[in-house]
C-alpha cells in the first residue's frame, strides 16, 4: 500500500492570513484522517508563514495515523522535532528564505554534515527521510548517512510529464532501483497531482508514501476536501 500523507501547510497559510484560528488545523487534521488520509505532513519554516512551531505539539496530540515533519535541520528545528517525536522527519536543504523546496541534498558533499543529524533522530526512534533529487548516483551516499528513506523531488517530473511522461519519470525509476539496492524506503512528493500521480506510482517501484499538499488543497477548492482525498486515494490504488 502506498500511503497518502496530506501536507497541511496551505491550510495554515489560510488561517494565518486573518490572524484567527479559522480554519482550525487540529480539526482539519482530524477530518483529513476521517476522510482517508494515511498521514499528515507539515513543513515549519523560520518565518512561520504557514505552520508555526507552536502547532507541532498540538498536531502531535491529534494525529492518529503518521505525523511527518519536514524542514532544514537547524539547531532550533532539531530541538522542536525532538520535543514532539513525530513518526518521521524529512530533512530538506532549503535556505531560510526559500519559497518552497525545489532541490534535494547533495549527499556526496554533505555526507558528514548529515550523518550526526540522522543519528540524533534515529536514536530517539524517529524515522528519517532525506529529500533527494532523482539522481541515482546520490543514493549510495544517502545510504551512508544512515537514513531510513529518501523522498524524491518531483518538480521536474511534473513540469515535463505532459510532453513526455516516460522521459520525465525515467530518472525516478533509476533512482528507485538504487534505493531498493541499498535497502532504503522510498517516498515522493512536492508536485504530484491528480493528473500525474497514477502514472508515477505505476512506474516507480517500491514507492511507500506520497506527500501532497498544494495540489490537493487547490483541487479541494473545486471538489471539496473529502472528495479530493478519495480521488487521490483512488489514483494510488488503481
Other CB atoms within 10 A of residue 103 CB: 14
Name the active-site residue from 50, 178, 190, 209.
Answer: 190
Q: Which H or E element spans position 5?
A: strand 3-7
> Comparing C-alpha atoms, which of 136, 80, 138, 85 is closest to residue 114?
138
How many Å from the N-terminal Cα to the C-terminal Cα in the chain? 11
CA distance 19 to 21: 7
70: annotated active-site residue? yes
61: annotated active-site residue? no
Alpha helices in the chain (DSSP H): 9-16, 25-35, 55-62, 75-84, 111-123, 139-144, 155-160, 165-181, 197-203, 214-223, 225-237
Q: By three-state DSSP, how is residue 187 classified?
A: strand
Please give the DSSP secondary-structure letter assigned to residue 141: H
Name the active-site residue from 70, 151, 178, 209.
Answer: 70
Residue 214 grid coordinates: 498544494
DSSP line for 190-232: SS--TTTHHHHHHHSTTEEEEEE-HHHHHHHHHH-HHHHHHHH
190: annotated active-site residue? yes
Annotated active-site positions, please?
A: 43, 70, 190
Amino acid at each position: 500500500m502506498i500511503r497518502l500523507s496530506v501536507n497541511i501547510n496551505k491550510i495554515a497559510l489560510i488561517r494565518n492570513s486573518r490572524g484567527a484560528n479559522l480554519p482550525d488545523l487540529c480539526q482539519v487534521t482530524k477530518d483529513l484522517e476521517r476522510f482517508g488520509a494515511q498521514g499528515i505532513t507539515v513543513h515549519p519554516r523560520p518565518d512561520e508563514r504557514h505552520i508555526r512551531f507552536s502547532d507541532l505539539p498540538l498536531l502531535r496530540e491529534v494525529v492518529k495515523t503518521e505525523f511527518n515533519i519536514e524542514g532544514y535541520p537547524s539547531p532550533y528545528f532539531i530541538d522542536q522535532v525532538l520535543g514532539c517525536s513525530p513518526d518521521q522527519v524529512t530533512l530538506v536543504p532549503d535556505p531560510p528564505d526559500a519559497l518552497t523546496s525545489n532541490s534535494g541534498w547533495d549527499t556526496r558533499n554533505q555526507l558528514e554534515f548529515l550523518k550526526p543529524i540522522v543519528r540524533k533522530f534515529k536514536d530517539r526512534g524517529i524515522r528519517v527521510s532525506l529529500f533527494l533529487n532523482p539522481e541515482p548516483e546520490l543514493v549510495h551516499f544517502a545510504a551512508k548517512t544512515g537514513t531510513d528513506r529518501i523522498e524524491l523531488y518531483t518538480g521536474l517530473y511534473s513540469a515535463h510529464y505532459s510532453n513526455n511522461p516516460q522521459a520525465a519519470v525515467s530518472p525516478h525509476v533509476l533512482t528507485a532501483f538504487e534505493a531498493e539496492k541499498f535497502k532504503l524506503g522510498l517516498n515522493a512528493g512536492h508536485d504530484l497531482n491528480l493528473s500525474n500521480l497514477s502514472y508515477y506510482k505505476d512506474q516507480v517501484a517500491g514507492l511507500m508514501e506520497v506527500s501532497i499538499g498544494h495540489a490537493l488543497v487547490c483541487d479541494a477548492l473545486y471538489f471539496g476536501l473529502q472528495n479530493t482525498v478519495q480521488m487521490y486515494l483512488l489514483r494510488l490504488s488503481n
